[in-house]
Each structure stands twice: as C-alpha cells, then as structure tokens.
Amino acid sequence: AAGSPRRDFISVTLGPEEAAGVGGYNNSKAWRRRSCWRKWKQLSRLQRSVILFLFAFLAVCGVISYTSMGETWKSITNKSLDDQRTEQEIPRLKLANPAVLPAPQKADANHGDYPELSLQKPPKSPHVRRGPSNLQIKAPRRDTRLKTRHDTMRAVEELVEADKVEKTEKSIISWRGAVIEPDQSTEPPSSKIMELEKPSPVEPEDQKEPVPINERQLAVIEAFRHAWKGYKDFAWGHDELKPLSKSYSEWFGLGLTLIDALDTMWILGLKEEFEEARKWVANDLVFDKNVDVNLFESTIRILGGLLSTYHLSGDSLFLEKAKDIGNRLMPAFKTPSKIPYSDVNIGRGTAHPPRWTSDSTVAEVTSIQLEFRELSRLTGDEKFRKAVDEVMKHVHILSGKNDGLVPMFINTNSGQFTHLGVYTLGARADSYYEYLLKQWIQGGKKENELLEDYMRAIEGVKKHLLQRSEPKKLTFVGELAHGHFSAKMDHLVCFLPGTLALGAHNGLAADHMKLAETLIETCYQMYAQVETGLSPEIVHFNLHAQKGHKDVEIKPADRHNLLRPETVESLFYMYRFTGDKKYQDWGWEILQNFNRYTRVPTGGYTSINNVQNPSNPEPRDKMESFFLGETLKYMFLLFSDDIDLINLDKYVFNTEAHPLPIWVPA
C-alpha cells in the first residue's frame, strides 16, 4: 500500500438504468426490496458501516428528544393542576389574613420544598418604601428558589423582621417602652405632621424594652395610687387635696395637683390615670380666668408640667395649653426694670407685686428660665426667651453679691437687690443656683456667664456657708446675716447635693462631687436623727458637742414636714452617678416613714406638724402638689436601675421635677 494514493471518500456506483432514470419505474414491493438489497450488497463494508452508524445516531437522537417532549408535556399538565389548587386556596387564606396576603403568585416556584413561604409574599419592608434607592433593601426576586436551609431560615427571619417593623410602624407612641396601638394614642391625627417638624418627643432608643419594675418601685406606684385615690375622690380638678377633711383647697383654681402629677403618671406607667387626667386637661382646664397666680409657682408647676408631659407623650394638647398659660404669664415682665412682678392675673392680663412691697424674690425671678426658654424653642416665638434671658443678664452684672451669693430680694422698679447682707441657699434664693447650672446644661453648655456665676457661687458657699456639726461632724450649709454665721439649714437646701453631682457629671470640678457626698449624708441625717425618721422644715446644727445632744436641733416652729422632695431628689442624682445602693436604702427608709406617719387611710398623704412625735405627728390636712409632682417621682427614679428612664444626658429637670429636653444632648 505504500506509494499508492489513499482514498478517503466513499464512491457509490449506480447502474445505467438508475443513472439515466430510464427503464420505467417498477413500484412493486418485491422489486423495491430486491433492488435495495442488491444495492446494499453492492456497497463496500465501510460504506455499510457508515450508513449503519448514521441510522444508529439518528435513532438515539429520536429517543432523547422523545423523553424531553414527555417531560415538557408532563410539566404542562402538572402546572395546570397547580393552578387549579392555588385558585381554590386563595379565598380561604384571604379571609384568614387579609392585611398581609398578597395577590396570588401563580408562577411562584417555591411550593415544592417550602409551601408556607410560597403562598405568602413577604410584607413590604419600610426600607423598600423609604429612603434613597442605594440604601433600599431590595425585595427578593419572585422566582428565586430557596435552595438551602440557610436560605429558608433567612427568609423566615426577614418575614418576621418585616412583620415586626410593620407592626412598630403602625403604633404611635411608646408608653415607657410599651407600644400603644394607634387607637389608644393620645395624639390627634391632624397634629401628627406638625409634630414631625418639632424635636422628637421620644427618641427611638427610648422605645427599647423597659427594664422590669422592682419591688420598691411597685411600692412607689402603690403610694402614688393611694394619693391619687384621695385626690380623685375628694379634690378632683382642684389645686390640693385636704385628705382628712376629705375636701380640697384652692390656690390658683387650676387643678394644680393634677397638672403637677401628669408626667409622674407617665413615668410610673399609670396609663388609665393619665388618660383620665388628660381628659380633664382637654375639657376642663381653662386659663381664661380672673385669678391672680404667682408667676414662679405657676411657671414651674403648670408651664413646666405641661411642657414635660408634651415631651414625654408627644401629645400636642399639652403644648397648646403650655402656650396658652405662657402667653398669659407674660404681663408679669412689664415692669420698669424688666424684673417681673410676682403675681399675674391670667384672665385680665395685669400683673403686680405683692401688696406690701414692690420687691420680687430672687429665686422666683431667676427660676422660670428653663420653662420659658423651652417654650420659645417649641413655638419659635422668641419673646418668652428674651424676657427671661434679660433677667439673667441683669442679675449677672448686678452688684450686691457676696462671692457669687445673692441676696433674697430684688426690686421691680429699680432692678436692684434689696435687704442686702443676708445669704442663704434656702428659701427665696435656692433655685437661683440650681437654674444657673441647669440653664447652662439645657443650652448645650455654651452660655459661659451662667457657668461663671454658678462656679463663683459654689466657691461662695464653700467660703461663707459651710460648717461642720457636732458630734458627728456633718458638713452643712448655714446662712450668713450681716457677717454673722447661722447654723440654720432649711430642708430646701437639700437640693444642693443633687445639683453639685449633676455639675460634676457634666464635667465641673471633681471636688463638687465630694461636697455632694458629704452634704447628702447630712440631709439623710436630718431624717435619721428625728423621732419619726422624717425631716423637719428647718434644722439648726450643733456647732459644739453637748452631752446627750445630736447634731440636729429642731425649734418648735420648724418641726413640720410638708412632704418635700429635696432630699429624695438628691438621693436620686447620687444613686444615678455613683451606683451606691446606700442611697436607695436611705430613700426606702424615707418612703416607709412617709407611709407610717403621713398616709391617710381614706386616700392621700398629709403634711404633718410635728416630726418629733411619732405617736401624734399632728396631721395638717394638706397634700402639696409637689408630693406627686416631685417626691414620688424622684422616689420611683431613685429605685430604678434604668439610666434611660429620664436619661440625665438628655433631660434636665426643672425645679418642680419636670424633665425638659437638653437642646444639644451629650
């Protein structure tokens, strides 16, 4: 074979008849069979192999395509069956859960493995509906199969998550973390859009799971309910409860206790009581009344109470009422010196000083700023803020101070301090110092004059007013009268440890905290050294050790207790900032003693005349509004371990314990 050319082709030789197409066409089967066979025989072996191979190949292709057609057919048949089943199930599911079920997804491929997912399209996540597209979380493609268990779990989680978000979206406000459904909301729908443009009343992080309430907090709730029962039964809508005579007293005739207690109810979670009180505010609280009110008292209790309740609840009713009373109080500032008068007639729009003098009290004219400044911020009306800022600027440059300590009176005509030479941190001056620090905190720690005045005043306290008692060497804050030190300390001064601690927490001198620690011990001793375990209104400290004498002496005229809050207030701050449980224990003792000596069985608590007589503390038949507004609120907060329950980096309490937002929270 070498050298001979290789033929790589098949030649088929046709006979002459076939080639010419002549000789007629014999169509008989036998002839055709014979002819084919003859032709097959004439083919070479290779040719026959190729042809056989071609036939075999075609046969295999035929079988494959038949199988595939069968599958297609089967699939078409199944699909139409599925369609029928889904159509039948839809009405039943629609009835079961109309809000969530989407339109039927006929072509959804999920049925096989995870039928429960295939029937229900995930509810739209709010992320899909809101926000710039690059931040949107895309909904899964409808034809995506869930191949793995991991995929399934994720899908289930997404569904649950989306459902949660949707539910949260539907709810309006949080009741200290618990969700309130829209129909329970106190927010009138029309005001909601307006609210969004305002500073958010409840930050999202405030809506986290509430820390469970403990036994002591429950005891506070029980005490509040008992007090509220008395107020509701005998004094509803009036200023103060007289629990023994089962009646009430009026001061301004503005439901003072009810307004003072609103935010306490909110904080304690007393929803029913709050709703009932809200109704009274909505329907019965009218400021258009021919009545004289004290500017300071109505600002801290009414304006402050309404503003804080507005912030906590988000209910614009309270802001409207706050605006109303704020406007009605403004005539007080129309004085020659711009130092406001003490009294305003909120119906007539006239103001005047007390009948016997043209002086105002320094603490009063300098402790209305947190409230009016906040009112300006909320309303956008600067007049409120301007009026109170003017007072502070004026007092800042005024002569007559003693190392930052202020006298107790200021004249509304001349604008000068009067009755010079007497310095106290008690009545008539106390909250001047408190509001220097708190305004500085409220405004984001930028107003340096306020800080300067505060720091200087604390130095003045250290220099002139601190002494130590005998025998226990308790550090206390006395008074200075024309150069003479008096060992007299009002219970009111017990706000000071809390204020000092708040300042230290906000970065002020560390020795302020040390002083706070020693002073709160003293305030506690003002309770502990007394027979009933309750502090009198005023104590005198012994400067010299005498046999059989304690540190604390009480004069007959001073041995009453008005259910005041200051010590409990400071205990709250001290516990928040140190975590030392002894402060909670001290507060617990005080609550028990209030229950022992001031609780009236038919409802309410009463101030008493004699803290030194446990067998007859001489009930006075009056429950001050600040017992509910302040004392029980601070008790509840003191016993809480939840620092977000009125977070002190977000809120600043006014002097009546109404929390107002810090404008630039830490």
The residues carrying an active-site annotation are 297, 430, 537, 566
Buried b (16+ CB within 10 A) or exposed e, 351-371: bbbeeeebbbbbbbbbbbbbb
Q: Give the β-pairing of 409-411 and 417-418.
A: antiparallel
Which of these, 333, 343, 340, 334, lies nearest to 411 by C-alpha position?
A: 340
Helix (H) or strand (E) holding 248: strand 247-249
CB of 165 to ligand DMJ, least distance (A): 42
Q: Does 257 bind ligand DMJ (CB under 6 A)?
A: no
CB of 195 to ligand DMJ, least distance (A): 30
Residue number, 431 or 506, with CB nearest to ligand DMJ: 431
CB of 629 to ligand DMJ, least distance (A): 8
Give the chain's end-to-end CA distance (angstroms, integer): 102
- The residue nearest ligand DMJ at its CB is 655
Residue number, 263 or 656, with CB nearest to ligand DMJ: 656
CB of 305 to ligand DMJ, least distance (A): 11
> Tokens 């029913």 identify what position?
272
Residue number, 206 or 364, with CB nearest to ligand DMJ: 364
Q: How far apart are CA 344 and CA 336, in angstroms?
A: 16
Spatial neighbors of 468 by CB under 8 A, at least 6 apart, are 474, 475, 476
CB of 565 to ligand DMJ, least distance (A): 6
Residue number, 250 or 275, with CB nearest to ligand DMJ: 250
Q: How far apart are CA 313 and CA 308, in angstroms?
A: 8
Q: How far apart are CA 528 and CA 565, in angstroms?
A: 16
Name the CA radius of gyration of the chain, rounded. 43
Q: Does 594 bind ligand DMJ (CB under 6 A)?
A: no
In DSSP notation, 16-30 reads HHHHHT-S-----HH
Contact 402, 423 (CB under 8 A): yes
Residue number, 175 or 527, with CB nearest to ligand DMJ: 527
Contact 318, 305 (CB under 8 A): no
Backbone angles phi, psi at 315, to 5 degrees: -90, 115
Task: Kindly state the tokens that stand for 418.
Answer: 């009067």
Helix (H) or strand (E) holding 35: helix 29-42
In DSSP notation, 288-299 reads -SS-EEEHHHHI
CA 16 to each of CA 36, 333, 542: distance values in angstroms, whole numbers, following the listed order = 16, 134, 150
Beta bridge mates, 490? 538
CB of 610 to ligand DMJ, least distance (A): 19
Spatial neighbors of 664 by CB under 8 A, at least 6 apart, are 443, 444, 445
Q: How far apart are CA 27 and CA 548, in angstroms?
A: 148
- The region, left, alpha or beta by phi > 0 then psi within -120 to 50, assigned to residue 479 is beta
Size of the site for ligand DMJ (CB under 6 A): 8
- Binding to ligand DMJ, residues 627-666 (CB under 6 A): 630, 655-656
Q: Does 364 bind ligand DMJ (CB under 6 A)?
A: no
Spatial neighbors of 443 by CB under 8 A, at least 6 apart, are 373, 450, 663, 664
Contact 533, 614 (CB under 8 A): no
User: What mask of x and - would describe binding to ligand DMJ in positions 398 to 437, judged by CB under 6 A?
Assistant: ---------------------------------x------
Residue number, 256 or 516, with CB nearest to ligand DMJ: 256
Residue number, 162 or 492, with CB nearest to ligand DMJ: 492
Question: Does 655 count as an annotated binding residue?
Answer: yes
**In this chain, which of 232, 428, 564, 576 binds ligand DMJ, going by CB under 6 A?**
564
Q: Does 565 bind ligand DMJ (CB under 6 A)?
A: yes
Q: How far apart are CA 144 and CA 121, in angstroms?
A: 12
Residue number, 121 or 564, with CB nearest to ligand DMJ: 564
CB of 94 to ligand DMJ, least distance (A): 60
Q: How far apart are CA 555 and CA 113, in angstroms?
A: 85
Contact 486, 479 (CB under 8 A): yes
Backbone angles phi, psi at 619, to 5 degrees: -60, 140
Task: Kindly state the tokens that stand for 462.
Answer: 């250290």
Residue number, 123 or 565, with CB nearest to ligand DMJ: 565
- Binding to ligand DMJ, residues 489-548 (CB under 6 A): 492
Task: Kindly state the tokens that stand for 506.
Answer: 């906000």
Identify the DSSP state of 58.
Answer: H
CA 589 to each of CA 532, 539, 594: distance values in angstroms, whole numbers, following the listed order = 11, 20, 9
Beta strand segments in 504-658, E: 538-541, 552-553, 651-653
CA 440 to each of CA 160, 432, 663: distance values in angstroms, whole numbers, following the listed order = 45, 13, 10
Residue number, 213 or 365, with CB nearest to ligand DMJ: 365
CB of 655 to ligand DMJ, least distance (A): 4
Q: Does 626 bind ligand DMJ (CB under 6 A)?
A: yes
Q: Which residues are annotated as a binding site for Ca(2+)?
A: 655
Sites of contact with ligand DMJ (CB under 6 A): 431, 492, 564-565, 626, 630, 655-656
